Amino acid sequence: MFISRLLVASVMSLFLSLNAYGVESLSGCPPANTKKNVFDASMLEGNSRISIENGTAEYPLVLDFYRPLKGGCKKIEFARYSIEGGVPTVESIFFMVLHGRVNVFSIVSWDINNRGDGTYGRLYQVYAYFFNDDGMLVENRRISEDSSMTGIEGYAQGTESKFRYRTASDVKKYWRSRLGKSVKQ
């Protein structure tokens, strides 16, 4: 019961914040530097970047997309992760083509500790985003709402729980086996 309420709350908080995302114009896009959490996103759009950045107290982590423009760069926030028992951590960012569209995946985790319920460890959620017909990065709910894409590594209501999709390679294997030939690396 606790797990389902936690997951519903996290999904609701993500959807309620969609209208507040910001767009900012910059003189240039940042260089890719994984040590600074800036990743090459050329698979999505040539010379673009995705970065993991600090957000607000309510949403401490955000994902920004940097789109190069003539004479500058446009920074667009496309995802926010709220506190769900603990502060969110982006474990991995990777790309995969599903049904002819490039998706950017993020594996997010939170430390959870509800000893009274016997639930503790790390909560994981896998999200995916793709460009919609308007050229905006939007959540691919088919991925994010798949029941296999969320779980606890630790204990859930006193029972040991293992989450199988903590790495990019595990997530890719799952979707390749699930969708077959319509999936590319």
Each residue's pLDDT expressed in tens, for the chain with a length of 185 residues = 445 444 444 444 443 333 345 666 666 889 999 999 999 999 999 999 999 999 999 999 999 999 999 888 999 999 999 998 899 999 999 999 999 999 999 999 999 999 899 999 999 999 999 999 999 999 999 999 999 999 999 999 999 999 999 999 999 999 999 887 554 54
Q: What is the pLDDT of residue 25?
A: 60
Which one, of 55, 108, 53, 62, lies nearest residue 85 by Cα?
Answer: 108
List the 49-54 sheet strands across, edge first. 23-26, 72-81, 61-69, 49-54, 38-40
Q: DSSP character for 185?
A: -
Sign of the alpha-carbon torsion through 57, 29, 65, 20: positive
Sign of the alpha-carbon torsion through 47, 126, 13, 38: negative
Q: What is the pLDDT of residue 22?
A: 64
Which one, of 69, 38, 43, 68, lies nearest residue 130 by Cα?
Answer: 43
How far separated are the first and last CA of the chain, in Å rounded?
36
Q: What is the pLDDT of residue 12?
A: 40
User: Is the Cβ–Cβ distance between 104 and 44 less than 8 Å?
Assistant: yes
Q: DSSP character for 158?
A: T
Q: What is the pLDDT of residue 15?
A: 38
- Cα gap 125→152, rounded to integer Å: 9
Position of tokens 């990777």?
Answer: 94
- Cα gap 126→176, rounded to integer Å: 15
Tokens representing 102 are 């490039």
